Amino acid sequence: MKPFPRPSIRRAVIVVPSLFTLFNLFFGIWSMVLASRGDFYRAGWYIFAGGILDALDGRVARLSRTGTRFGAELDSLVDVVSFGVAPAFLIYQLEFAAAGSAEWIFCYFYVMAATIRLARFNITQAGHSKRHFVGLPSPAAGMTLATFYPFTTTDLYAGAFRYLPRHHTMQLLMIVLAILMVSNVRYAALPRAGVRSVRGLLGLATILFVLVFGLLDHDAFFFPLAVAYMAYGVVRAVFLGFLAEDMEDDAAAIAEPSVIIAGEPERLRGAG
């Protein structure tokens, strides 16, 4: 008898990034189920957990050199659900369902912007080494909405923001997020941690700062952090101007028809 063939280790490793992506989808769907039951707190944190998995799948693919075009397309399709539809559904159930028959339109424009953002990312930035993203990444936008309700349960919100009109604030926030996702405002990518360079040490310090304060008081920390990241790109654009480099190339890439040719280099995942 011929020996039973041993499975290829590389083939197993290739599957790992896609498993992260599919668990991201699982959390997005689970979040919508919980939101439909009125459990907004857990629904928000499951979207946040999906964002962590979205960051990890790209890192795993790059470190193992197992990025595939299939993985890149799967990642974008899942992101539409986890950071487009799921946050919009959460906010609709939380804030807009009982507010009027036309309030869902804010959710539609948010999901539309997230979809356009991911499509543009696929043809302009996917597969390239990134120090910045053009437009607010959809995971950042989704996690901003996801952490809003946990933030409203804190003493910080009750003390400093209780006079804000919550409903109109959410309308404004969804509009601003939608505009920033499809804008040309540049946002810094996740810092790379290391000990061999100043940039690596700063990246490590940033990650440790987020981990420590996130663990100490995640309800009060992550929503202000997300808003600060959102505002960072706008402030940077206002003071430094919209950086023109590579914009013409991006516009040309968007305008040209996309043709898939057999044997073309495969794209790696990235935060869209």
**Rounded distance between C-alpha atoms, residue 151 and residue 48, angstroms:** 13
185 belongs to a structural domain: yes
The least confident of 22-36, 64-78, 104-118, 119-133 is 119-133
Residue 91 has which token pair?
């906010």
Average pLDDT over residues 17-29: 90
pLDDT over 60 at 28, yes or no: yes
Residue 124 covered by a domain: yes
Which of 26-40, 103-117, 205-219, 241-255 is least confident?
241-255
Give the mean model confidence (pLDDT) for residues 14-39: 89
Q: Which tops the pLDDT comparison, 165 or 202?
A: 165
Q: Is residue 253 predicted with pLDDT exceeding 80?
A: no
What pLDDT score does 240 carry? 76
**In which band, very low, low, confident or very high, does the pLDDT at 102 lie, cut at 50, 70 and 90?**
confident
Task: Determine, yes or no, domain membership for 265.
Answer: no
pLDDT score, position 214: 87
Please compute Rg for the chain using Cα positions: 20
Residue 260 confidence class, pLDDT cut points 50, 70, 90: very low
Least confident stretch, 17-26, 176-185, 187-196, 214-223: 187-196
Mean confidence (pLDDT) of the chain: 81
Domains held by the chain: number: 1
- Does some domain include residue 32? yes
Question: pLDDT value at position 252?
Answer: 43
Q: What is the pLDDT of residues 207-228, one digit of tens each?
A: 888 889 888 899 999 999 999 9
Does residue 52 form part of some domain?
yes
Q: Is the pLDDT of residue 190 over 80?
A: no
DSSP string, 161-230: STTS-HHHHHHHHHHHHHHHHTS--EEEPPPPP-SSSHHHHHHHHHHHHHHHHHHH-HHHHHHHHHHHHH
272 within a domain of the structure (yes/no): no
Segment of 99-103, 115-119, 160-164, 236-240 carrying the highest mean pLDDT = 115-119
**Amino acid type, 84:** G
Q: Domain range for residue 226?
A: 9-255
- Which pair of structure tokens corresponds to residue 243? 């950086």
Per-residue pLDDT band at 61 (split at 50, 70, 90): low
Q: What is the mean predicted confidence (pLDDT) over 181-193? A: 84
Q: Classify burial at 204, counting beta carbons within 10 Å of its beta carbon; exposed 0-12, middle 13-18, buried 19 or more.
A: middle
CA atoms of 88 and 107, how far apart (whole Å): 5
pLDDT for the residue numbered 247: 47
- Give the confidence band of 270 by pLDDT, cuts at 50, 70, 90: low
CATH code, domain carrying 146:
1.20.120.1760
Instruction: Name the token pair of 156.
Output: 């910080």
